[in-house]
């Protein structure tokens, strides 16, 4: 029996030396994850038990708290969707030129079309590790953080920000 967590799915399918899972297993895990996410269960982790290309068990860890902004230091926190670090000017306007900028959105509805412009980083107020945005960011190698509470309210277009997706933090540096 193979135990795998939601966050390890990409690693398990791509890294040498990791447990390999078949496309059938991957599709089953993704389908169940999406159904759980759609039901809006407040889960921070999902763990799957797979046997003979079938899911034989699912365990979830309840999200006890949503990361909150540290208003005193102008630092926001969220959940890492794609690792990396970047300091750049940000935009909340999807009509802006995105290349080299950090894109900040409430949700990922428009993101698939915007990925062609190759933003330098992505910050979303909503989303999860298995959201479409998280998967797109990881595949493109773009640092991304999801579940950043009040990001579109606290960060304005033109602000310089340091996005540290390795640690799930965003530091706001107001323009001079």
pTM for the structure as a whole: 0.61
- 134-142 average pLDDT score: 87
State the pLDDT confidence band at 73, using cuts at 50, 70 and 90.
Answer: low
Q: How far apart are CA 30 and CA 16, in angstroms?
A: 21
Of 151 and 74, more confident: 151
Q: How many structural domains compose the chain?
A: 2
Of 93 and 18, more confident: 93
Q: Do residues 14 and 26 touch, judged by C-beta distance below 8 A? A: no
pLDDT at site 18: 45
Q: Within a domain: residue 92?
A: yes
- 10-24 average pLDDT score: 49
Residue 154 tokens, joined: 């606290």
pLDDT at site 20: 62
Dump pLDDT digits (tens) for 112-122. Answer: 888 888 999 99
Q: Do residues 5 and 57 touch, judged by C-beta distance below 8 A? A: no
Of 65 and 25, more confident: 25
- 47-54 average pLDDT score: 72
**Where is mean pLDDT largest: 27-31, 116-120, 128-132?**
116-120
Q: How far apart are CA 169 and CA 173, in angstroms?
A: 13
Largest interatomic CA distance in the chain: 59
Q: Looking at the predicted structure, is the pLDDT value of residue 163 above 50?
A: yes
54 plus 125 within the same structural domain: no
Domain limits for position 163:
75-173
86 plus 53 within the same structural domain: no
pLDDT at site 89: 95
40 plus 81 within the same structural domain: no
- 70-78 average pLDDT score: 69
82 plus 167 within the same structural domain: yes
56 plus 132 within the same structural domain: no
pLDDT at site 114: 84
Q: How far apart are CA 38 and CA 23, in angstroms?
A: 22
Q: Do residues 5 and 45 touch, judged by C-beta distance below 8 A? A: yes
- 71-75 average pLDDT score: 61
Task: List all residues 6 or more positions away from 99 whose beta carbon is below 8 Å from its beta carbon.
Answer: 117, 118, 119, 120
47 plus 134 within the same structural domain: no
pLDDT at site 35: 66
């Amino acid at each position: 029996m193979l135990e795998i967590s939601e966050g390890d799915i990409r690693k398990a399918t791509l890294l040498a030396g990791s447990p390999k899972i078949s496309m059938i297993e991957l599709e089953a895990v993704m389908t169940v994850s999406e159904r759980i996410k759609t039901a809006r269960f407040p889960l921070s982790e999902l763990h799957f038990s797979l046997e003979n290309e079938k899911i034989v068990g699912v365990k979830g860890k309840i999200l006890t708290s949503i990361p909150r902004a540290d208003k005193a230091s102008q630092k926001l926190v969220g959940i890492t969707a794609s690792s990396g670090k970047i300091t750049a000017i940000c935009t909340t306007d999807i009509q802006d030129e995105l290349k080299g900028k950090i894109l900040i959105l409430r949700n990922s509805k428009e993101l698939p079309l915007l990925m062609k412009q190759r933003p330098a980083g992505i910050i979303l107020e909503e989303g999860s590790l298995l959201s479409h945005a998280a998967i797109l960011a990881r595949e493109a190698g773009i640092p991304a953080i999801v579940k950043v509470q009040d990001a579109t309210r606290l960060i304005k277009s033109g602000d310089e920000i340091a996005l540290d997706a390795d640690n799930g933090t965003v530091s706001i540096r107001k323009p001079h």
